[in-house]
Amino acid sequence: MKITIFGTGYVGLVTGACLADVGHEVLCMDVDPEKIDKLRNGIIPIYEPGLESIVNHNVSAGRLLFSTDTQEAVAHGEVQFIAVGTPPDEDGSADLQYVLAVARSIGQYMTGYKVVVDKSTVPVGTADKVAGALRAELDKRGEELDFDVVSNPEFLKEGAAVADFMKPDRIIVGTDSDKAEGILREVYYPFNRNHDRMIFMDVRSAELTKYAANAMLATKISFMNEVSNLAERLGADIESVRRGIGSDPRIGYHFIYPGCGYGGSCFPKDVTALSRTARDCDYEARLLNAVEAVNMAQKHVLFDKVSHYFGGDLEGKTIALWGLAFKPNTDDMREASSRVLMESLWKAGAKVQAYDPEAMKETQRIYGEEPGLQLCGTKEQALKGADALVICTEWKEFRLPDFEVISEALSHPVVFDGRNLYEPEMLERHGLIYYAIGRGRNQFSATGS
């Protein structure tokens, strides 16, 4: 099938590459000429495991094209995926300007039937707005062309996006059109061979399903973070509690890791946007608001622990920081907990020596001018001359470091671990003082006290 994807970010590029890989003819369109230029030259603008080879393979096979030309993009596919960003607006609601701009473009240039697929995460009611924007352009042209707008939210995880897309848990499609349903079945047929993963529903339910999924996952994290703060005050170990509750199949082990807060391009903005949607229909989403508030406070916990340890005086201190990306296996820094920590440390007069396996370029782009930041080529270099070590992202290479090297390099042998990577006894054996999240009374920090 001929398919067009608008937006070549984490979702658009993965979607385009994976659809091409199963045999579709895909054109990926982006308004960013630099991105398209890179992609045409075999350079992948983001880090996502497995993506480079799949893109280059399908470009060579002639099934994956890149363009900045809107008219060409609209002409290419009967199926038009919208996978552009939906960042938070000033009031926290999802900013639909990019989605609606694509809808208008499709209306301006289409010459026959199209299925327009909302893959971006968009609030309930957006499909109607997309249809309205598109129809307004057709009206201007005096055309009466047929089209359907379908909701097909994406559930891939950054860091495992290709694998998730290739083997999805479910493919949600919201539509009331039999014709569009048939076309979407054909688009996803190759991903459905083992068993039918497609769940069809009405458009509004599909739109809400995406927000509900992210809000549920964010709730699990904030719940565990709240209990971890309690554990610190009660002298309990959250890691024992985690194992204790995870063994209940009704709870399960997934997504109950305590830490220094969730970040990324989805959970924070989606929880806020859903809460905003609730307010718009005169409903106060108290649980969602609490999930967000707990998370915002949790992002300050590491700073509070560091500050508490140094008696509230961080002026002139140098903090080694391992992990900048909001989670492992990505270079994405959007809403990363490391950013809250670094900004607080700089404000308090401390310097940061940071290392991340993939997010250094992105950090340089965001904080390149910051005098208090030194980006280091290895995790060991980040330790040199530092007073303490803080870990913000659970990259594999941080899981079993040489503790002797850490304790020799730091002027204060202290590790603040925002992801509970280590057993406290292990670090104690190496003469390190260890502060993690929710692991007993000595872990107490000022936040929320």
- Which residues bind to ligand NAD, rule: CB under 6 A? 6-12, 29-32, 35, 83-86, 98, 101-102, 120-121, 154, 156, 158, 265-266
Task: Return the number of the residue (83 or 352) whose C-beta is nearest ligand NAD.
Answer: 83
Length of the chain: 449
Task: Return the number of the residue (164 or 304) whose C-beta is nearest ligand NAD.
Answer: 164
Strand, coil or helix: 201 = strand
Other CB atoms within 10 A of residue 286 CB: 10
Q: Which residue is nearest to ligand NAD (CB)?
A: 9
CB of 253 to ligand NAD, least distance (A): 22
Q: Are 412 and 387 in contact (CB under 8 A)?
A: yes
Block residue for tokens 């993939």: 358
CB of 12 to ligand NAD, least distance (A): 6
Rounded Cα distance, 36 and 32, in Å: 7
Q: Order of strands across the sheet with 414-417?
A: 373-375, 351-355, 318-322, 388-391, 414-417, 433-435
CB of 184 to ligand NAD, least distance (A): 17
Task: Return the number of the residue (120 or 298) whose C-beta is nearest ligand NAD.
Answer: 120
Beta-sheet pairing, 351-355 with 79-82: unpaired
- Angle at which helices 286-298 and 267-280 pack, to 10 degrees? 150
Catalytic residues: 266
Residue 94 DSSP label: B
CB of 113 to ligand NAD, least distance (A): 21
- Residue of 210, 179, 82, 202 lying closest to 134 (CA atoms): 82
Task: Return the number of the residue (187 or 238) whose C-beta is nearest ligand NAD.
Answer: 187
Task: Return the number of the residue (272 or 338) whose C-beta is nearest ligand NAD.
Answer: 272
- The overall longest dimension of the chain from CA atoms, in Å, is 78
CB of 432 to ligand NAD, least distance (A): 35
Residue 334 DSSP label: T
Q: Are 3 and 24 in contact (CB under 8 A)?
A: yes
Other CB atoms within 10 A of residue 187 CB: 21
